[in-house]
Structure 1
Amino acid sequence: MVTTPMGPPYHGPPAPPTPPKKRHTGLIVALSVLGAFVLLCGGIGIAVVSSLSHTGSSNDAGSAGKPGVRDTHTTTSAHVGTPARDGSFEFVVKKVHCGVSRIGSTYLGKTAQGQYCVVTMTVRNIKSDPQTFDSSNQYAYDRAGHRLGADTEGDLYLENGNSAFLNDINPGNTATGDIAFDIPKTAGIARFELHDSPFSAGVTVTNP
């Protein structure tokens, strides 16, 4: 019996080499183009909004002086003897009496550092809720433009207890009171700045 010699086992032809992984070059390019497009659109949108904003500002400025167009930036003002409104209150400054050296009696009162200007006014509540009038929220301006606060301590010594220092006013009611301003002897009051509360915009009342 003839024995055929055995060779090494046969495993078939060698496997082809693994192809290199494809880089997603096309996807990267597409994303880059899309990102650039988004940025471009955003820039155009910002430019358009900015242009419209400037156009609106220009139109507002131009309309301020045109007849029939309301100027909402104008500060409300009035004169002594005419009504002026701020928030819940309508003010009417009735009288301004300056040159007062002392408020109260000889034994119970206060002497002015300069001179007292005693201001008589009426305050009407024009809203639907009670509101407290506080003289410490009211200011006067002298001829030089200095802002002057009310002398709330001096208010307590005003004659006939007519102080407007603190006064609760119900809707529809009107209160009359005096406020004392201690100003320099050589000064005079040019205008008042009246408020219904510490944080209101205030209204100007000029004093001739």
Structure 2
Amino acid sequence: MSHDLRQQRRPVRAARRVSPLKVSIAVLVSVIAIIGLFAAGIAAQQYSQQRSAAPAAAQAAAAPPPGPGLGDAVRDGKLQFVVFRVDCAKRTLGVEHLKRTAAGRFCVVSLTVRNIGDSATYFVGHAQKAYDASGTEYTSDELAGIYANGGTEAFLQKVAPGAEVTGKLVFDVPKPVTLTTLKLHDSLLSDGAEVSLRQRASS
């Protein structure tokens, strides 16, 4: 019986050899697949970056260009203005008993005014306005302006054609308030020229 079992056993077949060509093709397909996945990842990342950058670019395009600020000349009617300093650190102006105290704090605006017209004109202090971020309007305190200008109001005299005067405007504003804009006028009824007091972003 054992002899019969030996006769029924099938001979063991030798393992098939894999063709080198098939191995090369499989490796090539794997490499292509990896490269494809890598490229798809890069494309997805670039698409995500473009989507995130698009709103910022649109917002920058929609933002209006910055208006004139400190050191820039603006014009209204016969007058040209250059605001070169704003100091909001003082609570009182004047000396000893001749002084004025702010209800909040004083913002002292230093500026030059040039007559660009062909006839003499006044710079009217109480025609000048200041605004905060909410749009609240503040008028100049002319009595405080006399103290700020060393006892004389630099803008009380007529400004001749081509002449320039330098002086200070004073605004009494609440302590938490930050002035953002000045509107400077040739007269009480003129349109006015705006000057931004906001800090400009550095380029």
Task: Say if 2:77 and 2:186, in contact at 8 Å, map to a contact too.
Answer: yes
Change (3 A) 1:173 1:127: same
| CA apart distance, 1:160 | 2.6
Q: 1:173 to 1:120 in 2, by over 3 A?
A: same
Q: Aligned residues, how many?
A: 134
Of 184, 189, 196 in structure 2, the residue corresponding to residue 199 of structure 1 is 189
Distance across 1 between alignment mates of 2:92 and 2:184: 24
Alignment of 1:108-187 (within 5 A): 108-161=98-151, 163-187=153-177
Deviation digits for residues 36-76 of structure 1 (CA, Å, limit 9, x no counterpart): xxxxxxxxxxxxxxxxxxxxxxxxxxxxxxxxxxxxxxxxx
Q: Structure 1: 5+ residue runs without aligned partners?
A: 1-76
* Residues 85/204 of structure 1: CA separation in 2 closer, same or farther (3 Å cut): same
Task: Name the structure with the higher helix share.
Answer: 2
* Distance (Å, rounded) in 1 between the aligned partners of 2:152 and 2:85: 14
User: How far has the Cα of 1:126 moved from its partner?
Assistant: 0.3
Aligned partner of 1:4 in structure 2 is: none
Q: Which amino acid aligns with 2:136?
A: H
Q: Using the TM superposition, give the Cα deviation of residue 162 of structure 1 relative to its aligned residue in structure 2, in angstroms.
A: 5.9
Query: Are residues 137 and 110 of structure 1, via their aligned partners in 2, closer, same or farther at CA, if it must alter by over 3 Å?
Result: same
Give the alignment's Cα RMSD to 1 decimal. 1.9
Cα deviation for residue 165 of structure 1 reads 4.8
1:95 aligns with 2:85: yes
TM (normalized to structure 2)?
0.62
How far apart are 1:80 and its partner, in Å? 1.3
Give the aligned residue type for 2:100. Answer: K
Q: Which amino acid aligns with 2:176?
A: T
Identify unmatched segments of 5+ residues in structure 2: 1-66, 199-203
1:18 corresponds in structure 2 to none
Work out the percentage of aligned pairs sharing the same amino acid.
37
